[in-house]
Amino acid sequence: MDFDLTKEQKMIRDEVRNFARKEIAPRAEEMERTGEYPYDIIEKMAELGLMGIPYPEKYGGMGGDWVSLHLTIEELSRADVTIGAILDVTASVVAQELYVFGTEEQKQRWLVPIVTGEKIGAFGLTEPDAGSDAASLRTTASLEGDEWILNGTKQFITNIGLDNASLVIVAARVERNGTDDIISTFIVPKDAPGFKLGKRYRKMAWHASATHEVLLSDCRIPRDNLLGDPNRGFAQHLAVLETGRISLAAMAVGVAQACMDEALKHAQGRYQFGQPIFNFQAVQFKLADMAVAIELARNQYLKAAGLKDKGRKHSFEASVAKLYASEIAEKIASDAFQIHGGYGFMEEYPVSRYYKSVKILQVVEGTSEVLRMVIGRMLARGAAR
Ligand SMILES: Cc1cc2nc3c(=O)[nH]c(=O)nc-3n(C[C@H](O)[C@H](O)[C@H](O)COP(=O)(O)OP(=O)(O)OC[C@H]3O[C@@H](n4cnc5c(N)ncnc54)[C@H](O)[C@@H]3O)c2cc1C
């Protein structure tokens, strides 16, 4: 077992930490307040090669590994979790689905611009009546001549509202033999006839993340936009969402680390009863518990990413990482707020933003309840150990 990062991994982490500290953190409060999308930050991330870290150079990627991508997601999320979310969806999920399941032609046409950061990708699984029970989705696709016709509504879709988003990978139901439906996945360009961007959601946080509804009304796409095996569309989606869980864990660790940084700073600078509140055991123990939980959560997502790099199974590790990291992040945000006292409620203190932004990590890409079910099933199958 090797717990050391390689020289390259440390280099990427340090470079991204520096970039995030200088270019993102000072803008985070304003982005959250105005809801302005961070196009210039995405451009700079593309210049640094961050949009395509684990993909081969022949597709415009960095030829790096999944550990490096996840260290990057943690560092970006430490500065602003919505930037981590952009990278999670476009790099961990969409690019991976195109890379693993796409034809060479699809890779050249759709993957390359996403990996280079010229375009951003979105992922469309959730529907108004199909959330945790994603397999009950109702969007349909039927073949007419050389075109697929898609009808349905996808909801809560991250990234698709960005002007530079090129496509959404849509899971849709295809009728076979009258009753025997299959779920297939399709590359749906944003400029396809019948594609409409629905409402921009009003959210409690993550205002700089472009979450929109997607309306497909007799949406026409070329026959060749079918992605991968038509019978295995749902399995393809689930396979890449497994990586999304590692990314969500890295995002949660980033926010948790930011909470601890702020809480420590505040505890050392705030005097009550003639001394820094850090000196009080009740405060110091909260900080010590934060450090323990962050260390464990970070080790777990790195373990999952490391197994993925080795081509080994990591479903259990990824689910554990996401469940644990998202739950400790909420507790840490709450304790960091508590250490700030009344200041924690004031918008100019970053901890108030962290507190609002962290809860949703227990919902997206598999709720805590669904993850416990997944982990429970793995225990029953003996697949967990
Ligand atoms: C900001 C944001 C961004 C998102 N981005 C995307 C995206 O880019 N693409 C995309 O496809 N989706 C996206 N989603 C959707 C997200 O993945 C879903 O919200 C999530 O899967 C949960 O689905 P739901 O909201 O319909 O909740 P529901 O499935 O209705 O769940 C409600 C509650 O019931 C519980 N529950 C449900 N079934 C069970 C069960 N069998 N046993 C025990 N408890 C259960 C859940 O755990 C939860 O607590 C996004 C959501 C948000 C809020």
- H-assigned helices in the chain: 7-19, 25-34, 39-47, 66-79, 81-87, 96-101, 104-106, 112-115, 233-269, 281-309, 315-340, 350-358, 368-380
Cα(228)–Cα(374) distance, integer angstroms? 25
DSSP secondary structure code for residue 164 in this structure = T
Cα angle, residue 308 at apex, residues 155 and 81 outer, rounded to 5°: 45
Say which residues have a Cβ less than 8 Å from residue 385's Cβ, sequence separation at least 6. none
- Predicted confidence (pLDDT) at residue 105 exceeds the cutoff of 70: yes
From 202, 234, 364, 371, the mutation candidate for ligand 1 (largest count of ligand atoms within 8 A of CB) is 364
The question of whether 127 is a catalytic residue gets the answer: no
What percent of the chain shows pLDDT beyond 90?
96
**What is the tens place of the pLDDT at every residue in 116-155?**
999 999 999 999 999 999 999 999 999 999 999 999 999 9
Asked if 168 and 219 touch (Cβ cutoff 8 Å), the reply is no
**Average pLDDT of the segment spanning 356-363:** 98
Residue 176 has a pLDDT of 83
* Residue 177 pLDDT class (50, 70, 90 cuts): confident
Cα(6)–Cα(205) distance, integer angstroms? 35
Ligand 1 atom showing the smallest separation from residue 373 Cα: 42
Ligand 1 pocket at CB < 6 A: 89, 123-126, 131-132, 156-158, 206, 211, 360, 363-365, 367, 369-370
Q: Which of 326, 150, 124 is nearest to 237 (CA)?
A: 124
Say which residues have a Cβ less than 8 Å from residue 45's Cβ, sequence separation at least 6. 19, 51, 76, 83, 87, 117
Ligand 1 atom showing the smallest separation from residue 93 Cα: 8
Residue 2 has a pLDDT of 85
Distance from residue 126's CA to the centre of ligand 1 (Å): 8
CB atoms within 10 A of CB 199: 11
**What is the tens place of the pLDDT at every residue in 29-58?**
999 999 999 999 999 999 999 999 999 999
The DSSP H or E segment spanning 363 is: none
**Average pLDDT of the segment spanning 258-273:** 98
Averaged pLDDT score across all residues of the chain = 97
Per annotation, catalytic residue among 57, 144, 365, 369: 365
**What is the tens place of the pLDDT at every residue in 161-170?**
999 999 999 9
Ligand 1 atom showing the smallest separation from residue 366 Cα: 21
Q: Which domains does the chain have, with CATH numbers?
A: 7-119 (1.10.540.10), 122-233 (2.40.110.10), 234-380 (1.20.140.10)
Distance from residue 132's CA to the centre of ligand 1 (Å): 5
Distance from residue 35's CA to the centre of ligand 1 (Å): 23
Distance from residue 367's CA to the centre of ligand 1 (Å): 6
**What is the tens place of the pLDDT at every residue in 312-336?**
999 999 999 999 999 999 999 999 9
- Predicted confidence (pLDDT) at residue 385 exceeds the cutoff of 70: no
Q: Which residue minimizes the CA distance to atom 52 of ligand 1?
A: 156
**Average pLDDT of the segment spanning 227-235:** 96
